[in-house]
């Protein structure tokens, strides 16, 4: 499956799925229009290729340039209060086809109504797209079993978060079941759902203040080693906030003794 994470993090989120007609299904549009065009150019894509936009939720870092798109292009959850801007209203566990991508809508646990993730099937490959959630319910995990691709939130390291200068109410919000996935929670979830088909994991929504790429990778390998899961064949990527994720930026699978 061809995808480009154009940006991921609290300053803006957007991911482009590209079908075999070079049409783009855009997941979130949390960048300014100028910045979105810049990131598309980095991926050798153009704004004109965008034929549909699906919004995970109504926080600004996921929908800031939504008005740049025609209403009939936009898909959002029925509870997201986007009915004036989105022609297509989605429901939990609804199946829908967009540009040849078959999507199953998954409810997420976040502090705004109508937050969703997706299972995406395209040409015999399956992707789980999970971000902005405090935890992943066991029912959702069952549906995520044995995907080829996992694009999943790994937002913070709890220790770094608690030592940060953020106000306590914000720390509590992030750590709550309606907050964001920690590295540990992300990796334990992955250990529960990965299977023989799994070939690539991309970690999303990393906090620049309360997480590091090294901690994400270290946590991943620690969890997998503890659970005796072979991940030697799996490509690991970490989405960037300041630029489109480049395909060569991968972490070679290895578990130190």
Max intra-chain CA distance, the chain: 55
Q: Which residues contact 138 (CB under 8 A, 6 or more apart)?
A: none
Q: Whole-angstrom Cα distance, residue 196 to residue 233?
A: 10
Taking a C-beta distance cutoff of 8 angstroms, is the pair 161, 210 a contact? yes
Q: Are 26 and 48 in contact (CB under 8 A)?
A: no
* The model's pTM: 0.95
Pairing between β-strand 149-153 and β-strand 14-18 as defined by DSSP bridges: unpaired
Q: Which two tokens stand for residue 237?
A: 């990527």
What kind of architecture, by CATH, is found in domain 2-238?
A: 4-Layer Sandwich (3.60)
CA distance 7 to 145: 26
Instruction: Provide the pairing of β-strand 149-153 with 125-130.
Output: parallel
Q: How far apart are CA 61 and CA 54, in angstroms?
A: 14
Reading the chain (257 residues) residue by residue, the pLDDT tens digits are 999 999 999 999 999 999 999 999 999 999 999 999 999 999 999 999 999 999 999 999 999 999 999 999 999 999 987 776 788 999 999 999 999 999 999 999 999 999 999 999 999 999 999 999 999 999 999 999 999 999 999 999 999 999 999 999 999 999 999 999 999 999 999 999 999 999 999 999 999 999 999 999 999 999 999 999 999 999 999 999 999 986 545 665 554 43
């Amino acid at each position: 499956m061809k995808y480009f994470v154009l940006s991921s993090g609290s300053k803006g989120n957007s991911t482009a799925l590209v079908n075999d007609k070079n049409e783009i299904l855009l997941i979130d549009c949390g960048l300014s229009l100028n910045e979105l065009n810049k990131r598309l150019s980095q991926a050798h894509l153009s704004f004109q290729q965008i034929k549909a936009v699906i919004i995970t939720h109504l926080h600004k870092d996921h929908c800031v340039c939504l008005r740049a798109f025609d209403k009939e292009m936009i898909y959002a959850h029925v509870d997201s209060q986007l009915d004036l801007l989105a022609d297509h209203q989605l429901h939990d566990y609804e199946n829908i086809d967009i540009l040849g991508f078959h999507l199953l809508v998954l409810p997420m646990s976040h502090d705004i109504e109508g937050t969703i993730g997706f299972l995406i099937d395209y040409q015999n490959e399956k992707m789980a797209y999970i971000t902005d959630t405090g935890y992943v319910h066991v029912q959702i995990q069952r549906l995520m079993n044995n995907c080829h691709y996992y694009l999943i939130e790994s937002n913070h390291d709890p220790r770094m978060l608690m030592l940060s200068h953020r106000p306590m109410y914000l720390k509590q919000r992030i750590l709550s079941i309606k907050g964001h996935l920690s590295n540990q929670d992300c990796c334990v979830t992955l250990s529960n759902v990965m299977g023989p088909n799994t070939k690539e994991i991309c970690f999303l929504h990393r906090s620049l203040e309360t997480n590091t790429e090294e901690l994400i990778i270290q946590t991943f390998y620690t969890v997998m080693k503890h659970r005796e899961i072979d991940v030697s064949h799996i490509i690991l990527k970490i989405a960037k906030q300041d630029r489109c994720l480049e395909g060569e930026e991968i972490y070679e699978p290895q578990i130190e003794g």
